[in-house]
């Protein structure tokens, strides 16, 4: 278990960072944070959801640093907090794409002994500090990715941190992480954005009336934050383009069955899909 | 308001037909039903959710007939219940596609004065009598479609019926119905089936592990009933193929922005999609 004397520094107080802050503060930890929006920090201090700004963290006492900013802002934030990086017991993150984070670390030649990457699978179409909440990670999975020089202390601290936050950790290497999430998260978002975009351009006057038959369900995630997703599409571009290619080939096959009025094969296609979907817990 | 002496005959006791039966029985109406599965009828009678089988309906007292079978089974059921059709105060349905229903009626030269088509927007990935429930239509919309010879009595009875079931009715002509639902319901299902099918074929050993980041949300509707959707894809084929074409052109545009790493335009594409999605109530 993590000792309560360990301080926590959070860079980026959005939905993920904010939820980490609220949960750990409630458990008695001293949490300090920075955010691009200074009012967020002021309000969080006023509401006693954090102890103070990141500058107030005492560098002579053990601390953990967590970067929860949009994927392509992390480079800049790492450099800004360079001094803290080397002193931290653990440096982690909450990002959905890992290769760009790794590139920034290599480019800046940071010592990575205390780095373990984290990706809590707890996101939704909501974003921002206002949508953060204590307990967000309860019974969720956090994917952790070790770096070649990660120490056992850093690994243990990271697992303890997520256990304290209520999440179970699963190990995944960096390449697999970015490949899997391209398929199971980034592609679904790509599709939801494209489908909603297509409907929004329709000239039908009642295009926003009959949306209860599936459209609203399938496109809930199209309400996600544009800056966050711009960064994901750019930074995990190659894996995402590969996933899009597979998806296009699958819709071509299914479309052909409909063109050919092949009832039996349409039924089989749906049955196979339903069976796999029903098996997901 | 509908007089409680009016009997209700339901052909097909699935989720929609069953929910109509349960709601009306609870309100004191006499409900009779038929189903391809005789045990469903027996159990529903035992559980006092219907009064009896369709044969027990008294043809000398006013009654309403509602066809809630898969789209391509309706022709056969109309013929089977030909005698009842002409005597009913109102003949309606719960189908998601209307052109095939209209063709069956024309082919068999049924008198359509008492026909009004209904499509309650209350479906989900669930199906079957076991998933039916009293109150399913509360605060839902039912799209109704008049035929050229529909009488005012039939129209009023249909509106009263849905109001009694808790739903608000909206008029839509047959061509628009099938076109709109191809875009807002059938295309989303097509996409969900194709996406899940693609993931199920992936060779990644952990393909079913990291599905919380969007995949499960977007593909919930892929658990829908295969026979029901086979019929929809066949019977609304031309409208659906048109919708697929528009969707493919939209994903091509979005894919190109990612290929070109055009961050600004990716952001704008997502912003536009998000704005439209957020506007849907």
**ipTM of this predicted structure:** 0.95
pLDDT of res. B239: 98
pLDDT of res. A106: 95
Indicate the burial class of A142 (C-beta count within 10 angstroms; 0-12, 13-18, 19 or more). buried
Final residue in a domain of this structure, among B148, B172, B196 = B172
Question: Do you know the residue count of chain A?
Answer: 281
Answer yes or no: do B32 and B151 share one domain: yes
Answer yes or no: do A243 and A270 share one domain: yes
List the one residue out of B43, B46, B41, B89 whose CA is nearest residue B65: B89
DSSP H or E segment with residue A144: strand A141-146
pLDDT of res. A203: 84
Q: Are strands B7-11 and A168-171 parallel, antiparallel or unpaired?
A: unpaired
Whether B116 contacts B66, CB under 8 Å: no
Q: State whether A190 and B254 contact (CB < 8 Å).
A: yes
Final residue in a domain of this structure, among A137, A153, A172 = A172
Whether B209 has a pLDDT exceeding 80, the answer reads yes
Q: How far is B119 from chain A (nearest CA, A)?
A: 10
Answer yes or no: do A110 and A159 share one domain: yes
**C-alpha dihedral over A122, A128, A130, A132, to 10 degrees?**
20
The CATH number of the domain holding residue A206 is 1.10.3660.10
Answer yes or no: do B130 and B107 share one domain: yes
pLDDT of res. B206: 83
Q: The domain containing residue A230 runs over which residues?
A: 177-279
Q: How far is CA B189 from CA A67, B193, B205, B235, B250, in A?
A: 38, 6, 26, 15, 17
Q: What letter does residue B89 receive in the DSSP assignment?
A: S
What string of H, E and C letters represents the secondary structure of B100-132? Answer: HHHHHHHHCCCCCCCEEEEEECCCCCCCCHHHC
Q: How confident is the model at residue B208 (pLDDT cuts 50, 70, 90)?
A: confident
- CA-nearest residue to B271 within chain A is A226
Final residue in a domain of this structure, among B122, B139, B172 = B172
Assess B185–A contact: CB distance below 8 Å, yes or no.
yes
Answer yes or no: do A126 and A36 share one domain: yes
Mean pLDDT, residues B13-27 taken together? 98
Q: Is residue A39 part of a domain?
A: yes
Direct distance between the N- and C-terminal alpha carbons of chain A, in angstroms, rounded to an integer: 29
Please state, in angstroms and rounded to a whole number, the distance separating the CA atoms of residues B189 and A219: 12
Answer yes or no: do B99 and B117 share one domain: yes
More confident residue, B45 or A214: B45
Whether B235 has a pLDDT exceeding 90, the answer reads yes
Mean pLDDT, residues B249-278 taken together? 98
pLDDT of res. A6: 97
Assess B276–A contact: CB distance below 8 Å, yes or no.
yes
Answer yes or no: do A124 and A103 share one domain: yes
List the one residue out of A108, A238, A53, A192 whose CA is nearest residue B217: A192
In chain B, DSSP assigns E strands to: 7-11, 31-34, 52-53, 63-67, 90-93, 116-120, 141-146, 168-171
3-state SS class at A29: coil
Beta bridge partners of A145: A117
Please state, in angstroms and rounded to a whole number, the distance separating the CA atoms of residues A271 and A177: 29
- CA-nearest residue to B218 within chain A is A218
Assess A203–B contact: CB distance below 8 Å, yes or no.
no
Answer yes or no: do B72 and B188 share one domain: no
In B186-256, DSSP assigns E strands to: none
Q: Is residue B2 part of a domain?
A: no
Number of domains comprising chain A: 2
Comparing CB atoms, the residue among A237, A250, A278 nearest residue B261 is: A237
pLDDT tens string, chain A, 281 residues long: the values are 899 999 999 999 999 999 999 999 999 999 999 999 999 999 999 999 999 999 999 999 999 999 999 999 999 999 999 999 999 999 999 999 999 999 999 999 999 999 999 999 998 899 999 999 999 999 999 999 999 999 999 999 999 999 999 999 999 999 999 999 999 999 999 999 999 999 999 988 888 888 888 999 899 999 999 999 999 999 999 999 999 999 999 999 999 999 999 999 999 999 999 999 999 97
Q: Return all residues near A72 (Cβ < 8 A) that are at least 6 apart.
A: A100, A230, A231, A234, A235
Q: How confident is the model at residue B123 (pLDDT cuts 50, 70, 90)?
A: confident
pTM, to two decimals = 0.95
Mean pLDDT for chain B overall: 96
Mean pLDDT, residues B140-162 taken together? 97
Please state, in angstroms and rounded to a whole number, the distance separating the CA atoms of residues A51 and B229: 55
Q: Which of residues 216-245 of A touch B (CB under 8 A)?
A: 216-224, 226-227, 229-230, 233-234, 237, 240-241, 244
Whether B21 contacts B13, CB under 8 Å: yes
**C-alpha dihedral over B149, B152, B158, B162, to 10 degrees?**
140
Assess A263–B contact: CB distance below 8 Å, yes or no.
yes
Answer yes or no: do A59 and A186 share one domain: no
Mean pLDDT, residues B165-188 taken together? 96
CB pairs < 8 Å spanning A and B: 281
Q: Is residue A2 part of a domain?
A: no
């Amino acid at each position: 278990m993590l000792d309560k004397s360990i301080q926590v520094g959070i860079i980026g107080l959005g939905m993920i960072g904010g939820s980490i802050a609220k949960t750990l503060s409630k458990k008695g930890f001293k949490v300090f944070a920075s955010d691009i929006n200074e009012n967020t920090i002021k309000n969080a201090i006023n509401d006693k959801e954090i102890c103070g700004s990141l500058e107030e963290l005492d560098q002579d006492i053990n601390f953990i640093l967590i970067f929860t900013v949009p994927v392509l802002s992390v480079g800049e934030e790492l450099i800004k907090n360079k001094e803290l990086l080397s002193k931290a017991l653990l440096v982690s993150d909450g990002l959905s794409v890992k290769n760009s984070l790794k590139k920034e670390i290599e480019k800046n030649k940071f010592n990575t002994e205390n780095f373990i990457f984290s990706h809590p699978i707890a996101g939704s179409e909501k974003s921002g500090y206002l949508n953060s909440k204590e307990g967000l990670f309860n019974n969720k999975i956090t994917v952790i990715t070790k770096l070649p020089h990660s120490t056992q202390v850093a690994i243990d601290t990271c697992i303890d941190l997520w256990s304290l936050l209520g999440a179970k950790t699963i190990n995944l290497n960096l390449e697999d992480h970015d490949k899997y999430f391209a398929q199971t998260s980034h592609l679904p978002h790509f599709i939801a954005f494209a489908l909603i975009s297509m409907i929004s351009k329709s000239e039908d006057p009642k295009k926003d009336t009959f949306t209860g038959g599936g459209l609203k369900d399938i496109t809930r995630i199209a309400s996600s934050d544009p800056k966050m997703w711009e960064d994901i599409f750019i930074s995990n571009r190659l894996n995402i383009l590969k996933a899009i290619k597979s998806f296009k080939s699958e819709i071509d096959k299914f479309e052909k069955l409909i063109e050919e009025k092949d009832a039996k094969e349409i039924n089989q296609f749906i049955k196979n899909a339903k069976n796999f979907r029903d098996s997901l817990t």
